[in-house]
């Protein structure tokens, strides 16, 4: 009588490896999508922080203005408007680090502002402005001081 050998056959091992490969490919694709959505949420949160802090700046330090500049300013690092505030500057820097494409505009009279950042998961932009708008846009902000 022949003794039975213990262990797996080559076919069984190959089937198990194939199943594990398919499952890991599905998981990696899902993780990549989740990572992009997480980055979009971080961008939206940072821009919403800018909106909240800008309202505090407007009524306090800014004296009912977002800036004291004499011309339209498009800089997230300006020192003569609301982007000189440490909380706003920190949120803008975090949005730049996540998105890479952020536009910060303050109107010539300092009465309006708009901030826009490109989302990671699509070619859309998230825009916030002085009218308390926070929405997705299909195009960049340009030099506008309100979300289009």
- Beta-carbon count within 10 A of 8 CB: 10
Per-residue pLDDT at 123 exceeds 70: yes
Domains recognised in the chain with CATH numbers: 39-137 (3.30.1300)
**Mean per-residue pLDDT of the chain:** 89
Element (DSSP H or E) covering residue 115:
strand 113-118
At 31 the pLDDT is 87
The span from the CA of 39 to the CA of 58, in Å, is 28
Q: Which residues fall within 8 angstroms of residue 46, CB to CB, at 6 or more apart?
A: 91, 92, 94, 95, 98, 117
Spatial CA neighbour of 128 closest among 41, 37, 45: 45
- Burial of residue 104, with CB atoms counted within 10 A of its CB: 0-12 exposed, 13-18 middle, 19 or more buried: buried
Give per-residue pLDDT as tens, 103-113.
999 998 889 99
At 109 the pLDDT is 87
Per-residue pLDDT at 128 exceeds 90: yes
Q: Which residues fall within 8 angstroms of residue 131, CB to CB, at 6 or more apart?
A: 112, 146, 147
- Cα 56 to chain centroid, rounded: 22
pTM of the model: 0.79
Give per-residue pLDDT as tens, 50-84.
999 999 998 888 778 898 777 888 888 888 889 99
At 21 the pLDDT is 94
User: What is the pLDDT averaged over residues 114-128?
Assistant: 94
User: What is the pLDDT averaged over residues 80-97?
Assistant: 92
Per-residue pLDDT at 41 exceeds 80: yes
**Residue the block writes with tokens 């979300």:** 147
- Token pair, residue 124, equals 């859309």
């Amino acid at each position: 009588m022949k003794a039975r050998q213990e262990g797996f056959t080559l076919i069984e091992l190959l089937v198990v490896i194939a199943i594990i490969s398919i499952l890991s490919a599905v998981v990696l694709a899902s993780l990549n999508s989740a990572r992009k959505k997480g980055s979009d949420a971080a961008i939206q949160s940072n821009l919403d922080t800018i909106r909240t802090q800008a309202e505090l700046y407007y009524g306090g330090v800014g004296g009912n203005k977002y800036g004291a500049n004499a011309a339209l300013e498009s800089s997230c690092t300006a020192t003569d408007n609301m982007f000189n505030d440490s909380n706003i500057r920190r949120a803008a820097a975090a949005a730049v680090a996540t998105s890479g494409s952020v536009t910060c505009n303050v109107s010539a009279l300092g009465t309006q502002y708009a901030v826009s950042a490109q989302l990671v998961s699509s070619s859309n932009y998230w825009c916030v402005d002085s009218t308390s708008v926070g929405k997705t846009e299909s195009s960049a902000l340009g030099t506008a001081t309100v979300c289009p």
